[in-house]
Chains A and B, each alone.
Chain A
Amino acid sequence: LRAARFDTGVLTRHLGGLGISALCTAIAFPLYPHFDPVNIVMVYLLGATVAGLRLGRGPAALTAIANTAAFDFFFVPPRYSLFVANTQYLFTLGVMLGVAFVIANLMVNVRRQTEAAAERERRTALLYALSRELAAAADAVTIADVAVRHVASSLGEPGAVLLPNEEGKLCVHVPGSSDSDNSLVDLSAACRVYDHNQDGVEEITGQEPGKPLYLRLACGEHALGVLVVQSRNGGHLLPEQRALLDALTGLVALALERAHLAELAAAARASAERAALRNTLLASISHDLRGPLSAIAGAGSLVAQSSGSLDRHRRKTLGNLIEEKARDMSELLTNVLDLIRLETGKSALRADWQSVEDLAGIAVRNVEHRFGGRRIITDIPTEFPPVFVDGQLAVQLLTNLLENATKHTPTGTSIAIRAAVRDSRAVLRIEDDGPGFGARDPEDLFEKFERGQKESHVSGVGLGLAICRAIVHLHGGEIRASNRDTGGARFEFTLPLESLEIEAVEAVS
């Protein structure tokens, strides 16, 4: 079928060449009475030029011959005969034929060059557009999407990109297509291309008709993925297409390498941060655990060794001391583990609808043994909408803030929990009327190991507020500390909120 179409194309173009020749003759006829035959030759040369420009080498040659023959037949005396009476016309005919050939040839070359230039321009534009999009793509999957889209738009063929996953196994990325397209990708062939170095590729990519083309995306020896191009028609790619594809592959490989390096750099940065955090934690923990540990050891040995010499009251005091110190240590440990969990982002947020009143109630219950003579005021509107939070973390957030307030205020003061809705978010405040933060920047308090008073009698390592900040940020909120106008400290944070649709529920029940 393809061969037949090819023939008709050639035939049409040759017929076109004869047509041009006929047209020239038709134009020349009315000119003949007024022009010298030599000038009529110009009409034919014009025709030969057009044929060269439009139809290619073969038809142009045919036109040149037909033109010469037509000029001889119609205009060279004796007219309407191929016979040439005057020998100088033989020279004219010879030059005419030669010039027509040369012009046709020149025109064909001009046309080729124009086409090549246009093709080059198109390719440059495509590659430019590709590189611009690749520069904007941040991760490997986006790069794969861009690559596949460009293969489709520039070659008109569907493609796919295979990228290694965490375990180094190749996975297919075909954006916006169904699974049936994925089945066209032969994973084992892709793996062979991926695992072998460049030498091994040629034999595998040596394209058989109808088989997809596998191209290794690599920078030097380092393979980053495989680009698969499906040849829908089962035909070979044209050399220009292949060149374009190679350029495209190079660009995509570079982009993947860049993304890969960026990932490595981010991982290195995160690991350095973790190491720094770990070191600070270790230093701080060992310091803060040693205190309670020596108290426990001392109290324990005292109870064990002094048989009968301790009265009931003293034994009770020592027992309480052991319990309290052990609890402090447990709390510290929990805080440290929580912070590591929150900061490394390993814990998934188990968000659910929670009532603020309920959360505050649990938090108050958690710390009420520490309130002493302090008064707690809960000021939450009755119909306050539920918040969408991780209950456990939210309780811890409130507990830490309340604990913080009790630690830093004298007895007899009051601590208030207030809630309001602002910009469709819940705004919660923990306010006290203690001494406040003084002149220092209260925002510093959210840093790890930052304590209100250095080396004070107040227990804790300064992780409580850092944990609060981490929890609020996990919920996409903000936390701020400030001095109240009336004196005292205020912590304010936001939590996600959605209005309650109780009507629908009532309808069901």
Chain B
Amino acid sequence: MTRAMHRVLVIEDDPAIRKVLSMLFETNGFRVVTADTCELGVRQAQTYRPDVCIVDLGLPDGDGIHFIRKVRGWSPVAILVLTARVAELQRLAAFEAGADDYVIKPFSSPELLARVRAIMRRIARSDQPAAVVRLGTAFIDLVNRVTRGPNGEEVHLTPLEHRILECLARHADSVVTHTQVLKEVWGPHQIDIRALRVYVASLRRKLELDPARPRYIVTEPGVGYRLVTDAEVESAERPARTRP
């Protein structure tokens, strides 16, 4: 393997989790640097220039968000946060500070790895935004405005639906907050979040095979939406659970 190893910075105060994360990334071909405080984390980020930062938000002094703000000031590095399930507001704050994605604790290793890889892929292709979005069998040509539904039939998207899809596709595979969608699609005319939900529901009816169980236009509870263009992410996201 000749390509350079990707660097991961893990900022986590719990030594056990730090060890598990180090092992996980080292055995999967990453170079790992760890830090247990925000200050050290910022210094490491400056010194090692990592490709991805894994930040635990559940630090007692809450400086995970502090770290994101500091690093976002000078670096476009990918940031993935680890949060508790109930900490919805904190998660939202992390996204507003500039986080790219999140994983809920307790996390499963394959899920975390898949998320990190998705972020890397997104960064790699970010120079040329996709002109064509494939959602399973559905297909959207953003440039020529040709849309085909999951069964190959041509479907018509309203201009607003098209713009919402464009917005989600720009940030494909990562979380887009409600505020971000509203700002990018409607501009300064702030509208009701209810309307956004209605348009998204309509998009799902046109593009999802089973709109009641969306696979591609996924709601991130309390935060926003995520356009899943990568089948691998979705399947790896659900850890295999064998019940005895």
Which residues of A come within 8 Å of B, CB atoms?
317, 320-321, 323-324, 326-327, 330, 334, 337-338, 350, 352-355, 357-358, 360-362, 364-365, 368-370, 376, 378, 380, 382, 386, 391-392, 395, 500, 502, 505, 508-509
Contacts and interface: CB of A to CB of B under 8 A. Distances in A.
B197 A353 contact: yes
A374 to B, nearest CB: 13
B3 interface: no
A328 to B, nearest CB: 11
Contacts of B86: 334, 337-338, 392
Given A361-B212, A508-B189, A391 B108 contact: no
Interface stretch (B95-103, B113-121, B213-221): B213-221
Given A353-B194, A395-B221, 4 more contacts: A361-B219, A391-B221, A392-B222, A505-B191
Contact of A355 (B197, B242, B243): B197
Q: Which of A320, A361, A364, A378 has the most chain B CB atoms closer than 10 A to its own CB?
A: A361
B242 A369 contact: no
B195 interface: yes
Q: Which of B189, B201, B242, B244 has the most chain A CB atoms closer than 10 A to its own CB?
A: B201
Contacts, number: 84
Contact of A386 (B186, B197, B221, B239): B197
A330 B106 CA distance: 7
A363 to B, nearest CB: 10
B194 A382 contact: no
A358 B194 contact: no
Contacts of B108: 323
A328 B164 CA distance: 38
B222 to A, nearest CB: 6
B189 A326 contact: no
A378 B240 contact: no
B201 A378 contact: no
B239 A378 contact: no
Given A364-B212, A502-B198, A353 B221 contact: no
A423 B194 CA distance: 22
Contacts of B89: 350
Nearest to A504: B192
23 contacts: A320-B241, A330-B106, A337-B86, A350-B89, A352-B193, A354-B197, A355-B197, A355-B201, A358-B201, A361-B219, A364-B212, A365-B213, A369-B238, A370-B241, A378-B213, A382-B205, A392-B86, A392-B88, A395-B221, A500-B194, A500-B198, A502-B195, A509-B195
